Structure 1
Amino acid sequence: MIHPCRSALFLPASNPRAIAKAGTLPCDAVILDLEDAVAPHAKVQARAAALQAATEGFGERRLIIRANAFDTPWGEADCAALRNAPVDAVLLPKVDSPEDLRRARALIGEDGPPLWAMIETCRGVLALRDIVAAASVLRLGGLIAGTNDLAKEMRLPVDPHRTALMPLLMQMVVAARAYGLTVLDGVCNALDDVDRLTAECAQGRMLGFDGKTLIHPSQIAPANTAFGPSSDEIAWARAVVAAFADPANAALGAIRLDGQMVERLHLAQAERLLALG
């Protein structure tokens, strides 16, 4: 079963109105945030609100809760509280090494929710290979590019094309694909610039990301469009599936279709596109 994750909306767990509205939004995933979006004095209350929201659910949307980092007073308590939470994943910020995953797994329990990791530090990028290699043992299911923190740590100038980040984003996609993980692009901060968001979504799709993390409901539709299959892609996928379903092609590894060579690896791609559509 393929579960699209074209759009993953961050929401402050301390905002009850935002949580209530999330159940009506067409995003594929909701990420209730206990970290950056929550003020220090509201951390404990936000954790309780997130746990309550998890029990009520968000319909068919994935639910992910982002814990605080371990170098804060709330990180360990967050993970311990999420041990039996009915969530699809616990998102760990600023993952620098597999040790962060091991620490979280010990707190959450072997049978607790899967882990996702935010790659948003230079150390995290350098440790990508070791982080994803621990995926099966520590039940790591996804990566998210923390582009804001990465840009800050790397002292990058503001660049709407994200030029300096391109090599790092590609590394995240390669690492995720090597171990069968979901991988999401970072947020777009330009809330009133639809063209900028659209361009970032197109860029993320081109790089191979499964979807994009978002910070406002108005960003959901562009993300769903960019990371979902287009009508042309659907038409191609149906043609490929139909061609290989022809008994005359049953024993063939490659066929000619509309002037192009199509192999069974393209059949797998077509079937995935149709599942996403």
Structure 2
Amino acid sequence: MTQKHIRPRRSMLYVPGDKPRALEKARTLPVDGVIFDLEDAVAPEAKDAARAGIAAALAGDWGGRELILRVSAADCAADFDLADRLALDGVLLPKVEDAATVLAAAGRTRHPIWSMIETPLGVLRAAGIAGAGDRLAGFVVGTNDLVKDLRARHVPDRTPILTALSLILLAARAHGLAAIDGVHLGLDDMAGLEAACRQGRDMGFDGKTLVHPAGIDIANRIFGPDAQEVAQARRIIAAWAEARAAGKGVARIDGQMVEQLHVDQAEALVALAEAVAAAA
């Protein structure tokens, strides 16, 4: 039997709250999640208009997309007041550097909490932040701010931040949290985006944050389940069921030993494939 429903988070698109056309278009895109942005993408003088725009946009039908509001700051009362009037799936806190910030935000909203990990201190404290109670749903990596604070450079293989990415991912997985990779800077560099998505997928991230719709299909394809991998996963599950029925603790398929951990991985992949198919 496959695992319970797994929510696809292959593609998570940032949409500035003060861009009505972008908000309207996002409703029609094949994206798994939309992050309505009130932070860096919105100028201070445009915050009120952005809040009104997001409220109006959310009055419509968004299908099964995951809807998350990135607040201006972890203690912005106006943004949290807005959040609790809306049908959201989560609130994203920028620049989280300690567990206390998550716990305080949990007291301000009924929605699940997501944390941006985008500073050196946030990375070093990621394990503690990940353990900040059962209201925390996941981490989103802010790679641009992290590169800036490290005084590093944006390079294709992301070598300067691989340690940080690994620490964030380790902390998330240790506490059963989702982990979404940071954005790719080159808006016209689809080959670079594809390479970054493959790297993030191979590391273990659930999906990619995006700043332009052009990257959605790439992220969905790379972070989505491959048909051949799904077929193999179903064979592993079937072989395991046969072995268990015969009273065996291991199975054999294509000359390889299959144990419970392989079955767990196979079931997770099949559950993701089923969730993606259901959302199509």
When normalised by structure 2's length, the TM-score is: 0.92
Q: Which residue of 2 aligns with 1:42?
A: 46
Check whether the contact 1:201–1:212 (CA below 8 A) recurs between aligned residues. yes
Check whether the contact 1:243–1:249 (CA below 8 A) recurs between aligned residues. no
CA deviation digits over 1:185-230, x for unaligned, max 9? 0000111111100000000001100000001111001101111111
Tell me the CA shift for residue 57 of structure 1.
4.0
- For the residue of structure 2 that corresponds to 1:31, the secondary structure is strand
Q: Which residue of 1 aligns with 2:277?
A: none
Number of equivalent positions: 269
Tell me the CA shift for residue 159 of structure 1.
1.1
Unmatched 5+ stretches in structure 1: none
Tell which has more relative contact order, 1 or 2 (C-alpha 8 A, sep 6+): 2
Change (3 A) 1:13 1:261: same
Q: Does 1:83 align with 2:84?
A: yes
Q: Does 1:221 align with 2:222?
A: no
**Runs of 4+ in structure 1 over 4 Å off:** 247-250
- For the residue of structure 1 that corresponds to 2:107, the secondary structure is helix
Q: Does 1:53 align with 2:57?
A: yes
Q: Does 1:258 align with 2:233?
A: no
What is the alpha-carbon root mean square deviation over aligned residues? Answer: 1.5
Task: Using the TM superposition, name which of 222-231 and 62-71 deviates more.
Answer: 62-71
Q: How does 1:84-99 map to 2 (within 5 A)?
A: 84-99=85-100
User: Which of 115, 119, 124 does residue 117 from structure 1 map onto?
Assistant: 115
User: Which of 151, 171, 180 does residue 155 from structure 1 map onto?
Assistant: 151
Check whether the contact 2:97–2:121 (CA below 8 A) recurs between aligned residues. yes
CA deviation digits over 1:148-190, x for unaligned, max 9? 0000000002211110100110111111111111100000011
Q: Which residue of 1 aligns with 2:104?
A: 103
Task: Using the TM superposition, name which of 9-18 and 54-63 deviates more.
Answer: 54-63
Q: Which residue of 2 aligns with 1:210?
A: 206
Q: Which residue of 1 aligns with 2:278?
A: none
Tell me the CA shift for residue 247 of structure 1.
6.5
Check whether the contact 2:98–2:129 (CA below 8 A) recurs between aligned residues. yes
Check whether the contact 2:239–2:252 (CA below 8 A) recurs between aligned residues. no
Unmatched 5+ stretches in structure 2: 274-280
Task: Using the TM superposition, name which of 242-251 and 98-107 deviates more.
Answer: 242-251
Task: Using the TM superposition, name which of 202-211 and 224-233 deviates more.
Answer: 224-233
Tell me the CA shift for residue 241 of structure 1.
1.4
Q: Which residue of 2 aligns with 1:132?
A: 130
CA distance in 2, matches of 1:186, 1:235: 30
Give the residue type in structure 2 aligned to 1:149.
D
Give the residue type in structure 2 aligned to 1:22.
A
When normalised by structure 1's length, the TM-score is: 0.93
Tell me the CA shift for residue 250 of structure 1.
5.0
Tell me the CA shift for residue 235 of structure 1.
1.7
CA distance in 1, matches of 2:195, 2:21: 30
Q: How does 1:169-188 map to 2 (within 5 A)?
A: 169-188=165-184
Tell me the CA shift for residue 269 of structure 1.
1.0
CA distance in 2, matches of 1:248, 1:197: 43
Tell me the CA shift for residue 273 of structure 1.
0.7
Check whether the contact 2:90–2:114 (CA below 8 A) recurs between aligned residues. yes
Task: Using the TM superposition, name which of 52-61 and 141-150 deviates more.
Answer: 52-61
Change (3 A) 1:255 1:191: same
- For the residue of structure 2 that corresponds to 1:213, the secondary structure is strand
Check whether the contact 1:85–1:113 (CA below 8 A) recurs between aligned residues. no
